[in-house]
């Protein structure tokens, strides 16, 4: 079965398409550029629950066929506009436009026929799922206080901090899969919300910066960690968060950042936008113009200043890289092509190690092969601490 279509909601509805076509190529370019940087107000819910089947041999859930419904591995089904969370396992059968999967647990909400939602790799519902030692904290950011979770304050972790940064359109829960292996490696954790997240300040234009503006919030998190005893920091960036942590590492004090972990990294934004334009069936010329409008800071796209699309590339990041990097990637990622990450590894082989998880989807590598993923993260964390102690 071919991969499901995922387009970040670049063209959100038939109405938007008709309006853009009516306005000509410029209108479509504006719509494309605006959608690239606009956070979704309501999470996508492409799947509908047809039935929840209870059995002594194990419960199952029947979903309509659609985006990631039959994706391999243990996944989560987020429903009721994000208020419900269930965990699903292996696909039992596919037939008549439906997918039946093992229903492993319902962590939150009431799951019944008619509920709509989406499959995600998020597994944990909150910090209490990974540790009893956690607290809600606020990080003073350039736009205001940023909600964050502080996890695991005991032991070596009081000096060595891992700062986790989620991806575009996600929430901090996404990154909790990285906490346990790095906790075992000796880190404590700061799991960050950044601008435009629920509970966090909105950007002045309420738009994403594709990692560029978000990096300012990552720098604030680094400053918070140092103020609370951190002597070494490991940055962990997921998808768009990868660009944010790479930029923050460039600007952080020399010797403070011990290493960087990039999960399904979004670090080639010109390439990502070309890829998403093809998937959205947006003409290449309109997509290029949309990217240029963002680059110029065109008010038509809703931004208040330039978005440096052409600077968010593997070549730029490679030229500024000065610490070891672990990349976790899948060549089967249909959302953000792995080519950008593989190019970064080619440009800086002395610093960049890439671990591939074949067959996995975007930011769902842990779900596809938890053992490989956690072993790689644990090993990199231990190596970062060992290198730091020798330095």
pLDDT in tens, 225-243: 999 999 999 999 999 999 9
Instruction: List the structure tokens of 207.
Output: 């738009």
Question: CATH classification of 127-268+312-390 is 3.40.50.1820, yes or no?
Answer: yes
Q: How much is the pLDDT for 6? A: 54
Percent of the chain with pLDDT over 90: 86
pLDDT of residue 62: 96
Give the tens place of pLDDT for each residue, 353-391. 999 999 999 999 999 999 999 999 999 999 999 876 655
Name the CATH code of domain 47-120 (choices 2.40.128, 1.20.1050, 2.40.30, 2.60.40). Answer: 2.40.30
Burial class (CB in 10 A: 0-12, 13-18, 19+), 189: buried
Give the burial class of 41: count Cβ atoms within 10 A of its Cβ; 0-12 exposed, 13-18 middle, 19 or more buried.
exposed
300/386 Cα distance (integer angstroms): 50
Q: Is the pLDDT of residue 17 over 50?
A: no
In which band, very low, low, confident or very high, does the pLDDT at 307 lie, cut at 50, 70 and 90?
Answer: very high
What predicted TM-score, i.e. pTM, was given to this entire model? 0.92
Q: Average pLDDT of 149-155?
A: 80
pLDDT at site 390: 57
CA atoms within 13 A on the CB side of 249: 30
The residues pairing with 79 across neighbouring beta strands, listed in sequence order, are 84, 117
> What band does 24 get if pLDDT is binned at 50, 70 and 90?
low
Distance CA(334)–CA(22), nearest Å, equals: 30
Alpha carbon distances (Å) from 98 to 49, 53, 77, 278: 9, 14, 15, 27
- In the numeric block, which tokens belong to residue 346? 């080619």
Residue 197 sits at φ, ψ, to 5 deg, of -75, 155
pLDDT confidence of residue 1: 36
Q: Is the CB of residue 293 less than 8 Å from the CB of residue 29?
A: yes
CA 161 to mean position of chain CA atoms: 20
* pLDDT above 70 coverage of the chain, percent: 92
Beta strands 160-165; 188-192: pairing state: parallel
Which of 339, 321, 320, 328 shows the shortest CA–CA distance to 371? 328
pLDDT band of residue 10 (cuts 50, 70, 90) is: very low
**H-only helix segments in the chain:** 14-22, 25-37, 179-185, 214-227, 240-251, 269-280, 284-296, 314-320, 339-347, 365-368, 370-390
Same fold for the pair 47-120 and 127-268+312-390: no
Q: Domain extents for the chain?
A: 1-41+269-308, 47-120, 127-268+312-390
pLDDT one-digit tens code per residue, 326-337: 999 999 999 999
Q: Is 62 helix (H, G, I), strand (E, B) or coil?
A: strand
Contacts of 341 (CB under 8 A, 6+ apart): 262, 265, 267, 314, 327, 329, 354
Give the separation between CA 391 and CA 387, rounded to whole angstroms.
Answer: 6
Residue carrying the six token digits 């540790």: 131
Q: What is the pLDDT of residue 22?
A: 45
pLDDT in tens, 309-326: 999 999 999 999 999 999
Q: Residue 117 — pLDDT band, cuts 50, 70, 90?
A: very high
Q: Residues 6 or more apart from 193 whose CB is under 8 A from it?
A: 146, 147, 148, 171, 172, 199, 200
pLDDT at 264 over 90: yes
Average pLDDT, the chain: 92
């Amino acid at each position: 079965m071919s991969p499901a279509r995922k387009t970040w909601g670049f063209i959100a509805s038939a109405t938007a398409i008709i309006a853009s076509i009516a306005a000509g190529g410029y209108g479509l370019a504006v719509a494309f550029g605006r959608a690239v940087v606009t956070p979704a107000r309501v999470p996508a819910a492409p799947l509908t629950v047809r039935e929840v089947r209870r059995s002594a041999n194990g419960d199952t859930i029947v979903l309509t066929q659609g985006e990631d419904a039959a994706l391999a591995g243990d996944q989560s089904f987020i429903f009721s506009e994000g208020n419900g969370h269930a965990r699903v396992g292996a696909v039992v059968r596919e037939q008549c436009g439906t997918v039946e999967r093992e229903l492993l647990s319902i962590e939150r909400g009431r799951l019944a026929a008619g509920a709509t939602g989406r499959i995600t790799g998020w597994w944990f519902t909150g910090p209490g799922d990974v540790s009893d030692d956690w607290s809600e904290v606020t990080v003073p950011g350039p736009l205001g206080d940023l909600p964050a979770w502080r996890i695991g304050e005991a032991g070596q972790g009081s000096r060595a901090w891992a700062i986790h940064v989620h991806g575009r359109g996600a929430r901090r829960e996404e990154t909790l899969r990285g906490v346990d292996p790095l906790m075992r490696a000796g880190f404590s954790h700061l799991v960050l919300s950044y601008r435009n997240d629920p509970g966090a300040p909105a950007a002045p234009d309420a738009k994403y910066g594709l990692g560029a503006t978000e990096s300012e919030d990552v720098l604030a998190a680094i400053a918070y960690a140092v103020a609370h005893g951190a002597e070494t920091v490991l940055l962990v960036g997921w998808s768009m968060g990868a660009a944010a942590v790479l930029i923050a590492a460039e600007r952080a004090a020399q010797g403070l950042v011990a290493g960087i972990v990039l999960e399904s990294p979004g670090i080639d934004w010109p390439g990502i936008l070309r890829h998403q334009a093809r998937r959205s069936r947006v003409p290449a010329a309109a997509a290029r113009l949309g990217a240029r409008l963002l680059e110029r800071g065109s008010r038509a796209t809703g931004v208040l200043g330039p978005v440096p699309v052409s600077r968010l590339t593997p070549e730029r990041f490679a030229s500024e890289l000065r610490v070891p990097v672990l990349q976790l990637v899948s060549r089967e990622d249909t959302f953000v092509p792995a080519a950008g990450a593989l190019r970064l590894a080619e440009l800086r082989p002395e610093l960049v190690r890439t671990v591939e998880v074949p067959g996995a989807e975007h930011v769902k590598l842990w779900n596809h092969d938890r053992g490989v993923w956690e072993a790689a993260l644990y090993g990199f964390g231990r190596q970062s601490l060992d290198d730091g102690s020798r330095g």
